[in-house]
Amino acid sequence: MNIAFYFKNLEPTDAIKEYCKEKVGKIKDRLHHIEAVDVRFKLLRQNQVCEITVHADATVFHVQKQDKDLYASIDAAVDILNIQIDKYHKKIGEKSTAFEAMPTRENELSKEDHTIQVYQAPVKPMTDLEAILQLQSEKFKFHMYHHIEEKRYSMVFARPDGNYSLISPTKELGQYEEKIVKMKENSLKDISYSLYPLSILSVSEAIEQRNENNLEYLAFVNEESRRLNVLFISKNGELALKKPL
């Protein structure tokens, strides 16, 4: 199992990496298909932070713990990661045979700890109008599509005023354009056009940004895939991630 390590304001050491590999590596027998694991270390005031993100089984497991001792931060993060996996197994009616289940205590999961449902959407080529019509027939508040003319990933979401926002990353990474349109009699009328900064983030960084700003959804370019992803709150109130298939 490959683990990507990132250090911010902390000196990277082989000892820390090996200790983390040993601890985190034990989860590989608890999940069917692990796509990626990244571990981020950083200094926050007087504490040393360990942040672990695991992409596995169409789910993202995310945990962040801090302590004055970095080894203690790793231990605490891995303990919560195992609790998240137990909750995941319980939710899907599946039991882990390799490890004895740890007690699942709700009060041990803080706001920095998440189990995220991942939706891999087949992103079909379509026009803006077709995307809006598709959105109207779906359960989500937004729809991802591949712009048939611009040859790029885009998304559309319904605005409270009844109009629609069409969002697409520009050719220059780091920006996205938002076009607000009105639909009338199966045709679109442009209302406004704007350019905004678009963040290139890891999933863990996107989670942190969404939490800090209490956003209903956050569109970002995934640092790994370089594709448009959307982190959002689903109708059942849980955090979810939608990305192109």
- In 3D, which of 15, 77, 84 has the Cα closest to residue 52? 77
Q: How far apart are CA 60 and CA 54, in angstroms?
A: 6
Residue 25: per-residue pLDDT: 92
pLDDT at 120 over 90: no
Q: How far apart are CA 67 and CA 50, in angstroms?
A: 9
Q: What separation in angstroms does the CA of 110 have from each of 13, 71, 206, 225? A: 28, 19, 17, 28
Q: What separation in angstroms does the CA of 62 have from each of 113, 137, 145, 178? A: 6, 32, 27, 30
Q: Does pTM surpass 0.85?
A: no
Question: Per the CATH hierarchy, to which homologous superfamily does domain 4-112 belong?
Answer: Ribosome hibernation promotion factor-like (3.30.160.100)
pLDDT at 234 over 50: yes
Q: How far apart are CA 168 and CA 152, in angstroms?
A: 7
pLDDT at 95 over 60: no
- In 3D, which of 234, 128, 219 has the Cα closest to residue 169? 219
Q: What share of the chain is helix, strand, coil (3-state, %, to 5)?
A: 25, 45, 30
Please state which of the four CATH numbers 3.30.505.50, 3.40.920.10, 3.40.50.10490, 3.40.50.300 is assigned to the domain occupying 119-244.
Answer: 3.30.505.50
pLDDT at 49 over 90: yes
Residue 124: per-residue pLDDT: 85
pLDDT, tens digit, for every residue of 162-199? 899 998 888 766 788 899 999 988 899 999 999 888 77
Place of tokens 């939490």: 211
Predicted confidence band at 152 (pLDDT cuts at 50, 70, 90)?
Answer: confident
Q: Where are the domains of the chain?
A: 4-112, 119-244
